[in-house]
Amino acid sequence: MSCPPEHRPALRFRFSTAAGPVDKCLRHAILHGPLFRTALVTAAIVGTTLTAINQGNVLLSGAFPPILYWKIPLTFSVPYLVSTTSALRISRKR
């Protein structure tokens, strides 16, 4: 689905769909189904790998220090943001 006609954002993004190309504003582009799902899968794979590398020894010891309550979500958010930003840069309409 395209953005409503009253949207006049400075940035627009073009996505291919079964119905043809669709232009979206930033808010709708971030929530575009295929982009959102791909970013989530990327974050799950890369975030799990990085958590295992960086915090694996602590987690395997059975300890869960309070600092990990913010470090682990941050570890997953970085690949999500990188994936989303990359996809948006590629699809930006000039």
pLDDT in tens, 48-86: 999 999 999 999 999 899 999 999 999 999 999 999 999
- Give me the residue spans of the domains in the chain: 27-93
Tell me the pTM.
Answer: 0.85
Task: Give the N- to C-terminal CA distance of the chain in Å, as an integer.
Answer: 20
